[in-house]
Amino acid sequence: MEIRSLMANKEGSWERQHSEFLAFITRFGNKVVSEEASRYLRKLSPKDLTTPGTSLLLAVITSEDGERIAGASCMTSYGCGINLVIVHPLYRGTGIGSKLLMNQISTLGRLSCLVSLNNISSLQMCFRAGLSARGLIKGQGGRPLLLLEDISDLSPIQKVVSPTTFKEGDPVVTTRPGHIDSISK
């Protein structure tokens, strides 16, 4: 399996690559892709991919009858806009989604995403890719969403708290079960 940027494929035109990508996400991501994201992806141009925080990656496998897309990932605004990872049903559970996310982090330098708490497979994929839980947010309709971010470049205290959210003396629940810390100077 090879992970590549959609633009890195020099064999063929943007129109052909883009249509293959759209066909893949339409076929295998119909329950995941919002109408807003779908509209954006249909209008996507090579110029859009040069915007900071935007990346489109494909996981490609070689089979007996040629190359096939096994997974696709599109991020805009460092994951705060569109944050999409779709894996072909035959390859789910093989780590392709996590590898796509790890490559997105590597490509973009940072990544944030919101994942529904009842979407266990997506949460596992994010944790395997190295993302860490940073907060719990109420989404549309009041459903709980977990904010996941790449925190590998943060200091140890920044990994636990956000200085703009908490002040000295506030209790902060850490990842150590049953243990509450307090922020101090």
- Report the distance separating Cα 119 and Cα 161, nearest Å: 25
Higher confidence at residue 102 or residue 160? Answer: 102
Per-residue pLDDT at 168 exceeds 80 = no
- Among 61, 77, 72, which residue's Cα sits nearest to residue 2? 61
Contact (Cβ atoms closer than 8 angstroms) between residue 172 and residue 182: yes
- Report the distance separating Cα 57 and Cα 21, nearest Å: 10
Structure tokens at 29: 């991501």
Start-to-end CA distance of the chain, whole Å, equals 48
Per-residue pLDDT at 138 exceeds 70 = yes
Per-residue pLDDT of 80-110, as tens digits, reads: 999 999 999 999 999 999 999 999 999 999 9
- Report the distance separating Cα 156 and Cα 140, nearest Å: 32
Q: Is 159 left (phi over 0), alpha (psi -120 to 50) or beta?
A: alpha
Q: Which range among 8-12, 131-135, 142-146 shows the weakest confidence by mean pLDDT?
A: 8-12
119-147 mean pLDDT: 91
* pLDDT score, position 115: 92
Contact (Cβ atoms closer than 8 angstroms) between residue 163 and residue 185: no
Contact (Cβ atoms closer than 8 angstroms) between residue 91 and residue 69: no
Q: At what angle do helices 120-128 and 96-108 cross, to 10 degrees?
A: 50
